[in-house]
Amino acid sequence: MNDHFSPAGAVPVPVLRLGDVLLVTLQGDLYDGAAEQLQQDIVEAIAGSRVTGVVIDISGVEIVDSFLGRVLAEIAANARLLAAQTVVAGMRPAVALTLVELGLTLPGLRTALSTEAALELLGLDGASVPRGPRREPR
């Protein structure tokens, strides 16, 4: 039996827009159906609203496997094709260790210790939209 099938009554993952950035918070396991729906929701939201970044907060994820790693990499690849950057925020040390042990490099993903730091990487200061031209980090 595949552990990634969505149990009855599983709640879809919300995709919130914060200025030019989509904010997605993962809590617990991400099942096949929910992962496919999340990927579709993110692609449609990027294309429909012309956002430039996606922040995926995984601070609520305690265990990662190759399935979740692949989902994150696919989301980043889809976003990159639509001219948006992806930042994964809140990765626990055990999750980072597991990703390395699994050999998952997650191309196209940037990381940040917190959601706030991820928003700053994408040009947002807290919940405000930048008013002027973006400054490049030194």
Using the predicted structure, report yes or no on whether residue 126 has a pLDDT greater than 60.
no
Q: What confidence tier does 109 reach under pLDDT thresholds 50, 70, 90? A: confident
3-class DSSP assignment, residue 31: coil
Using the predicted structure, report yes or no on whether residue 130 has a pLDDT greater than 80.
no
Q: Is 31 within the bounds of a domain? A: yes
Query: What predicted TM-score, i.e. pTM, was given to this entire model?
Result: 0.81
Q: Is 127 within the bounds of a domain? A: no
Q: Is 128 within the bounds of a domain? A: no
Query: Over the stretch 14-67, which tens digit does the pLDDT of each residue have?
Result: 999 988 999 999 988 888 888 889 999 999 999 998 899 999 999 998 888 888
Q: Is 90 within the bounds of a domain? A: yes
- Kindly report the CATH number assigned to the domain that includes residue 86: 3.30.750.24
The domain in which residue 84 lies consists of 15-120
Q: What confidence tier does 116 reach under pLDDT thresholds 50, 70, 90? A: very high
pLDDT recorded at residue 133: 43
pLDDT recorded at residue 132: 40
Number of domains in the chain: 1
Q: Is 135 within the bounds of a domain? A: no
Q: Is 30 within the bounds of a domain? A: yes
Q: Is 1 within the bounds of a domain? A: no
Q: Is 137 within the bounds of a domain? A: no
Three-state SS sequence of 113-136: CCHHHHHHHCCCECCECCCCCCCC
Q: How far, in Å, CA of 68 to CA of 81, rounded? A: 20
Q: What confidence tier does 8 reach under pLDDT thresholds 50, 70, 90? A: very low
Q: Please, what's the largest Cα pairwise distance for the chain?
A: 53
Q: What confidence tier does 10 reach under pLDDT thresholds 50, 70, 90? A: low
Element housing 1 (H / E): none
Question: Of 54, 58, 133, whose CA–CA distance to 94 is shortest?
Answer: 58
Query: Over the stretch 88-103, which tens digit does the pLDDT of each residue have?
Result: 999 999 999 998 998 9
What number is the average pLDDT over the span 67-84? 92
pLDDT recorded at residue 51: 93
Which residue has tokens 């948006």?
Answer: 84
